[in-house]
Amino acid sequence: MNKDKEMAILKMVYDTAHFKSVSNQESPDFVLQHHNLDTGFGVEITELYHSESHARLKNVSWYTDHLLNGVATFIGKMRRIFK
């Protein structure tokens, strides 16, 4: 991932204006330092997902089947209720 994209993702999560410094590095990708502290903390940008559900769909192999089984169960219950 290029550094401009990594910085854009970092700014979605952290308001970089609230930090004394944001150092662009390789590992971790960034080190952020608060105004009142001498030490900073590292941030590694790996992947960006639009939502938790999107992340699960991409990374949890059984998630889609689990959702569809839940929907099928719900529809079955609704059919019994509205007969």
Phi, psi of 22 (to 5 degrees): -130, 105
pLDDT top residue among 20 and 71: 20
Residue with tokens 């330092």: 33
Cα distances (Å, whole numbers) of residue 70 to 33, 56, 61: 45, 16, 16
Split at pLDDT 50, 70, 90, the class of 57 is confident
Across residues 34-61, what is the average pLDDT?
A: 89
pTM: 0.62
